[in-house]
Amino acid sequence: MLKNYFKIAIAVLKRRKFFTFISLFGISFTLTIMMVLAAFIENVIGNDYPDRKRDRSLYITSMEERGKNAMSSGSPSFYFLNKYAATLKTPAKISICSNGGNSTNTYVNNKKIAINYKYTDANYWDILEYDFVEGKAFDAQQVKNGEHVAVISEGLKKEYFGDIPSVVGKYIEADNVQYRISGVVKNVPITTYMLYSDIYIPYTVSKIDYLNKDYQGGYIAILLAASKADLQKISNEYDDVMKRVPMENKDFDHMNCRAESYMRSFLNTGNEDSSGLTEALTAIGVFTLIVMLLPTINLININVTRIMERSSEIGVRKAFGASSKTLVYQFIVENLILTLLGGLIGIILSYIIIQIINSADLIPYFVIKMNLMVLLIALLICFVFGLFSGVYPAWRMSKLNVVTALKEQ
Amino acid sequence: MIRLQNIEKVYRTDTVETLALNSISLDIAKGEFLSIMGPSGCGKSTLLNIIGLLDIPTKGEIKIDEQKTDSLSDKQLANFRNKKLGFIFQSYHLINDLKVLDNVELPLLYRESSAKERKDLASEALGKVGLSNRVKHFPTQLSGGQKQRVAIARAIVGRPEIILADEPTGNLDSTMGNEVMDILLNLNKSDGTTIVMVTHDENMAKKTHRLVRLFDGSQVQ
Ligand SMILES: Nc1ncnc2c1ncn2[C@@H]1O[C@H](COP(=O)(O)OP(=O)(O)OP(=O)(O)O)[C@@H](O)[C@H]1O
Ligand SMILES: [Mg+2]
**Is A317 in contact with B106 (Cβ distance < 8 A)?**
yes
Residue B87 near chain A (CB below 8 Å): yes
Backbone angles phi, psi at A162, to 5 degrees: 80, -165
Residue A271 has pLDDT above 80, yes or no: no
Dihedral of CA atoms A263, A266, A267, A269 in degrees, nearest 10, equals 130
Mean of the per-residue pLDDT values of chain A: 85
Q: Which residues of A touch B158 (CB under 8 A)?
A: 320-321
Helices (H) and strands (E) in chain B, counts: 7, 10
Give me the residue from B77, B78, B89 closest to A406, CB to CB. Answer: B89
**Is A8 in contact with B98 (Cβ distance < 8 A)?**
yes
**In this structure, how many other beta carbons lie within 10 angstroms of the beta carbon of residue B80?**
17
Backbone angles phi, psi at A75, to 5 degrees: -90, 150
**Is A326 in contact with B83 (Cβ distance < 8 A)?**
no
* Residues forming beta bridges with residue B34, ordered by sequence position: B196, B210
| Range with the poorest average pLDDT among A79-93, A302-316, B9-23, B38-52 | A302-316
In the prediction, which pLDDT does A241 show?
Answer: 93
Print the domain residue range for B156: 2-219
Residue B54 near chain A (CB below 8 Å): yes
In the prediction, which pLDDT does A409 show?
Answer: 56
Interior angle at CA A86, CA A82 and CA A87, nearest 5: 110
- CA separation for the pair B81, B26 (Å, rounded): 20
Q: Is the ipTM of this complex over 0.85?
A: yes
Distance from CA of A17 to the nearest CA of B (A): 11
Residue B23 has pLDDT above 70, yes or no: yes
Best CA proximity match to A276, nearest among A59, A103, A88: A59
Q: Which residue of A has its CA nearest to B48?
A: A403
Residue A278 has pLDDT above 60, yes or no: yes
- CA separation for the pair B78, A208 (Å, rounded): 89
Residue B180 has pLDDT above 80, yes or no: yes
Mean of the per-residue pLDDT values of chain B: 93
B50 lines ligand 1 (CB under 6 A): no
Residue B185 near chain A (CB below 8 Å): no
Closest residue CA from atom 11 of ligand 1: B20
Q: Give the N- to C-terminal CA distance of chain B in Å, as an integer.
A: 20
In the prediction, which pLDDT does A362 show?
Answer: 67
- B128 vs A365, which has greater pLDDT? B128
- CA separation for the pair A355, B76 (Å, rounded): 56
Residue A268 has pLDDT above 90, yes or no: no
In the prediction, which pLDDT does B164 show?
Answer: 96
Helices (H) and strands (E) in chain A, counts: 13, 13
Angle between the N-to-C axes of helices A2-15 and A17-46, in degrees from 0 to 180, rounded to the nearest 10: 100
Domain segments of chain A as ranges: 2-47+278-407, 62-259
Distance from CA of B213 to the nearest CA of A (A): 22
Please give the C-alpha separations between residue B144 and each of A73, B5, B110, in angstroms, as whole numbers.
Answer: 82, 36, 27
| Range with the poorest average pLDDT among A38-47, A56-65, B63-72 | A38-47
Domain tally, chain B: 1
Angle between the N-to-C axes of helices A2-15 and B100-109, in degrees from 0 to 180, rounded to the nearest 10: 150
In the prediction, which pLDDT does A276 show?
Answer: 56
Q: Of the residues B13, B14, B18, which should be mutated to test ligand 1's pocket, given the most ligand atoms within 8 Å of the CB?
A: B18
In the prediction, which pLDDT does A272 show?
Answer: 46
Please give the C-alpha separations between residue B21 and each of B10, B34, B61, B70, B204, in angstroms, as whole numbers.
Answer: 7, 18, 13, 17, 24
Residue B110 has pLDDT above 70, yes or no: yes
| Range with the poorest average pLDDT among A127-136, A210-219, A384-393, B81-90 | A384-393
Residue A392 has pLDDT above 70, yes or no: yes
In the prediction, which pLDDT does A364 show?
Answer: 67
**Is B110 in contact with A16 (Cβ distance < 8 A)?**
no
Residue A368 has pLDDT above 90, yes or no: no
Backbone angles phi, psi at B172, to 5 degrees: -115, 155
In the prediction, which pLDDT does A14 show?
Answer: 79
**Is A15 in contact with B96 (Cβ distance < 8 A)?**
yes
Q: Which residues of B touch A11 (CB under 8 A)?
A: 97-99, 102
| Residue A330: band (very low, low, confident or very high) from pLDDT cuts 50, 70, 90 | confident
User: What is the DSSP secondary-structure string of A56-102?
Assistant: GEEEE--EEEE-SS-EEEEPBPHHHHHHHTTT-SS-SEEEEEE-S-E
Give me the residue from A317, A319, A325 closest to B75, CB to CB. Answer: A325
- CA separation for the pair A296, A298 (Å, rounded): 5
Q: pLDDT tens across B133-174, in order?
A: 999 999 999 999 999 999 999 999 999 999 999 999 988 888
Question: Ligand 1, closest atom to CA B167?
Answer: 27
Residue A267 has pLDDT above 80, yes or no: no
Over range A70-95, report the average pLDDT. Answer: 93
Residue A282 has pLDDT above 90, yes or no: no
B24 lines ligand 1 (CB under 6 A): no
Longest dimension (CA), chain A: 95
**Is A320 in contact with B106 (Cβ distance < 8 A)?**
yes
Residue A147 has pLDDT above 60, yes or no: yes
Q: Which residues of B touch A316 (CB under 8 A)?
A: 93-95, 106
Q: Which residue of A has its CA nearest to B76?
A: A323
- Tell me the torsion sign for CA atoms B210, B215, B219, B221: negative
| Range with the poorest average pLDDT among A48-52, A164-168, A267-271, B27-31 | A267-271
